[in-house]
Structure 1
Amino acid sequence: MDLQLPPEARALSRFLTADPDDWPRLAPRVAEAVGADTLERIVRATNARVGELGTVTDSPDGLIVSGSKGRVRAWAQVAPGGEITGLLIEGGNYTPSRRRRRRLMPLISAVCLTLVTLWNVLTMWTAADRTAWLGDIATLAAFYVIVQGWGAPAMHPRPLRRTVEAGAVAAVASAWRLPGLPTGHGTLGLAGGVALLTAAVWLVTAARLHRWKAPLSRPLLFPLEGTWYVVQGGGRALNHHARVPEQRGALDLVALGPYGTRTGSGHALTAYAAYGRPVRSPCDGVVISAADTFHDQKPGEIRYQPPSGNHVFLDTGREIVKLAHLRPGSVTVTKGDTVHRGQLLGEVGNTGNTTEPHLHIHAEREGIGLDLEFTDVPGRLHRGRRIRA
């Protein structure tokens, strides 16, 4: 076995090649938590997927279990004595992530947004007649409705936001040409622009006002202090959690700074405005699960680990409230504790399935996500909304 590998890779390799009778010794907490039958089913499914085990290696995407048939990602926690204390194996085949493309996506998005803005402005200034100009301005308005209502613009750095806003001013300024233009007869273009604008307004409004009609038993206390920005929330079009039934009403919350969600240049964790901010209990309840030992992800990258990362899950007696992605070492409660509204639970971190520091919160009842409501935050909660608490 390669001694240069991290202890997690060595421990997982020993575990997967061991006799099932040795599993309780190699992973006692895992065997106790899931049971011998479930553990055997997981291991056998992994072996069937990868074939004859070859190696367990480390990669930026996580531990990679390789065999004669394929590869899967895994995560493991190991005690000082070498026992596995936490284990997660992905249920699908592993395909290496395109990390370079992931890093370039913000730049690509910024360039595309800038080019579309400039193209729309140029179209306004070259309109051949008044009817064409009106059609173009309606199309441009639809573009801005989508950008502002769908795109969470406050997440972008100020120079990009100011460029897009300047485009709107420049487009409207082209109205000085109207007295010198003919009326025109391009009513089809005008009708198309109006139709696009109407559709954009309707889609954004419907997504922002969407309710699942599954209310909480009582409103929660907003768990954060200061000003926060909703980057995921609302109807299906504005909330990527909607495809997961228990998370359909979830919110992802970030703080803002001069560089979008960052207070300074660079991508260190401490540059993000949300990182390290206190998280308080939104309700009275009993802690049914808590974790505090997962490592922070590097911003912009996701290394395979349990999706919630460090977290606190609360049972109110009527629903389960879940707060996730907390900072390692910050969680103040453990399973079985009774907590009260406003009690400090931890700090915002970047653990689990996340690309930058934020707080994830959702409530569920019998596996179905509920509409979140807070006593100190009036109105609907949706992507693009600022919350001051």
Structure 2
Amino acid sequence: MTYQSPLLSRPGAVEATGPDAGVAAHYGDPMREQRLLARGEALADLSHRGVVTVTGPDRLSWLNTLSSQLLLGLKPGESSEALLLTVQGRIEYDTRVIDDGETTWLIVEAFEAEGLAEWLNKMKFMLRVEIADVSAQWAVVGAAKAVAGFEERLVWQDPWPEVGAGGFAYTRIEEPQHPGRERTWFEYLVPAAELESAVDGKELAGSLAVEALRIAAWRPRFGTETDEKTIPHELDLMRTAVHMDKGCYKGQETIARVHNLGHPPRRLVFLQLDGSQHTLPAAGSEVRLGERKVGTVTSAALHFEMGPVALAVIKRSVDPETQLLVVDEDSHYDAAQEVIVAPDAGSVVGRPKGLLRGGPR
């Protein structure tokens, strides 16, 4: 059954498409909603998100052996991000992790939950863990600031763009200048039956607003910026989702080899688009250098301050100073790129200082 949020009954609600189908794209005024959301004066309906729980005394040690993140010392209420990878180091699942002392909660994209729960059940062996897909029983509500009245609710706070313990930044900017520092983000777990009452009397913002703020913060999204070949290095996820000093896990050899000795083949880039078209390119539009395709737009939005912006994944070798062109059917958009993942990212062995590294946990 296709999910439909009860908040779609709100006046002016227009349902989103694509990965956000089932919740509102907007409630009649996307730009106003985006401003309110950025100021922490509106909530976002993310009730289409998947939620998977892991209970049992072995839950954190077990998840630690499976994932890219160090979870052994995760304290109740502490937020983390963890990837589950293939043997080749490609991202299979991206999970937002929060533990309440008895249960580990994994917030994921809608399409991830069922497969993630099945995969985890296959991996439990004789360990004392129980896995459940509780997406139907729990909803997620997003906000840019802590929400008054939600103090008792379990909340995941996005670690982006902090360079976590054991992590590395693949940017070349001074970290205080990272645009992600202008965005804080919280995702609250709310019983699905209480969703309407929980947001009663509060301003709502649709997924268009959520996406615009995410793109402006250079924050990659699983299933949007990723494909079946994506490795964490390409999206700067080494800063929040990978701990380079933890023990063995599936995909670790590739993670270490690319980080220490090689370069990721592609890199995430932020694009400032020409606004004269008064439209936005669709995800999947070609990014060209001259007549040559060098990448693909992964997401685009109209930001309330910057205008049309996008994220794209392009070939590592593309000159960061070069003007690019985005082609979407009959529309063409001049695109100025801002480097997210540096072309020389990786190969830290032998560098005097390497990349910006997170401290110990």
Q: Which has the higher contact order (CA 8 A, sep 6+)?
A: 2
Q: Same fold (TM over 0.5)?
A: no
From the two aligned structures, give the one with the greater strand fraction: 2
Larger gyration radius, structure 1 or structure 2: 1
Classify the TM-score, shorter chain: under 0.3
